[in-house]
A and B are shown apart, each in its own frame.
Chain A
Amino acid sequence: MITPLRETLEQTSLFLPTIAEIVAVRDLTALEKLYTLALPGGMSLGHEPGQFVKVSVLGVGEAPISISSSPSRSNGTFELCVRRVGDLTNVLHRLGPGDRVGIRGPFGRPFPMKRFQGKDLLFAIGGLGLAPARAVINQVLDERGKYGKVIVLYGARTPGDLLFKDELETWGQRSDMELHVTVDRGDATWTGNIGVITTLFPKVQVYARNTVAIVIGPPVMYRFVLMEVLGKGVPEGNIWFSFERRMKCGVGKCGHCQINHIYTCKDGPSFAYSEIKHLEEALK
């Protein structure tokens, strides 16, 4: 009998994490590492693409981290891509295989993968946005027949900041998807595109009415990418974001992640543009 981790929240305390073991750590860039985690025996994360977990290091604190692995590739383990940027993640970066962290979740509304079926998928991903996007992309690739065209646009600051380089290479070689990568600033070895992510849009052609755009990146990116996808004619209800916010509880109570009346942790973090376009605090 496999118990979904979520059920533990309903037992003694919704703040009680389950102790998971780090089984592997891989350096992705100077700032980002990929952690493979295993829950104790008989427990499954049971997540869907677009959800996140709260990661605890006892004595340091807890932070929300998007799940980077697709459910299709989670055989008893799951992956988190962590940028060293705050108190918790700095400590996390010093941990290795065999170390333990606390996990609560999975939290949040996932992307509506069923609604994406049969659609052409246009991913516009900036920087660390590839961490949650990878869960969606790999799920789509593992059920490739269910979706139409798959186009991935990915932008990072420099070639050294590109995440999942091995997977980018594989995606670039696949004939059943299209990948365009750009960097804001190149280096001596870089022969690819240079420029912000919006410079990739003229390269792709979509049948807008049947396209779902999945846009994930830093706050500053959203406004500009939105102009591009709306400009291509993608319907507002087919443009999906995943938002980052401060979250202290993950369960819609602590208040930090509110976008106007909406709780990002519970009502999101995935939102269609049509759901949030009237909320001033959404795309700031």
Chain B
Amino acid sequence: MFAVWYARNLEFLRDRSTLIFNFLFPLALVIAFALIFGGQPRPIFKVDVIAPPGVALDAGLHPFLGTRYVDFVGIEPAALESTIRKVERHQVDLLLDLRGEPRFWVNEDSPKGYLAERLLLESAAGRVTREPVSGAAVRYVDWLLPGILGMNMMFSCLFGVGYVVVRYRKSGFLRRLSATPVTALEFGTAQVLSRLLLTISVTSLLYAALSLLVPFRNEGSVLLLLLIAVLGALAMISFGFMMAARFASEELANGAINLASWPMMLLSGVWFSLEGAPGWLQAAAKALPLTQMLDAARAVMLDGAGLVGVLPNLAWLLAMALLFLGVAAAGFRWRAD
């Protein structure tokens, strides 16, 4: 028994890549959570404010703005309509318009809206106009569902094509193909499209099954969602293919793909929104294909966005797919040695 224990420990220590990932992962996890949730105590209420031009948001403008633990966010007058929709969704607790006589919008179905309103009325001496709105909160499940489907797609995309290509390289099948007229780009495209068919079929089935089991919200077009899924999967499979373009060892490829998938798990908004995270982190997250796909899918499912609304996301996904595939083909290795 001792011999087996000793040999296994040696194996573990000598398998550098596994060793590194075993240390690196928890570290990355802690750092990521610290960045997202760390810093100041989180405010309890979120209040959007439209101020007169050139005036700072402080207690001088209105006594309510001096309240602590309330996140006051200044918005442009043009965003009034969309912010009212956020109030209806419970995404913003209160909307305050301080141009002229103060007016505020509050959702009568929201507990936090009710409390924020009490605070406002407590602090204010003068008249304020109340504009009640109503609407159900976006349930967490409605918000989470695209995330879960997207995460499932991500793993299928990254590992599905990555592993197979590395195995082909290791077994020498790629070497055999290199002696035929087929090019790396042709081979890669074929692999990507094959995986795309599979991923989209599985995801569509899952979507259909979930809509029967857990009725969820979809305000937009299912066809548009399909388009988003196709382009998102294309970008992520191409990414997986790029990760596998050179490796000849499954362990190494596994580590590299894991390393790529964890940031997406945490930063792409699968489980929670990054709204509270530092700006640079949000910007970095925007560069990830999963973020773009989830942003677009949520815009369609929760806000009923149309094609025009998600066009920037779609363009970004397509550009990434082409970039990854091009890089992979340029640096592709047919041989294991």
Q: Do A and B come from one complex?
A: no
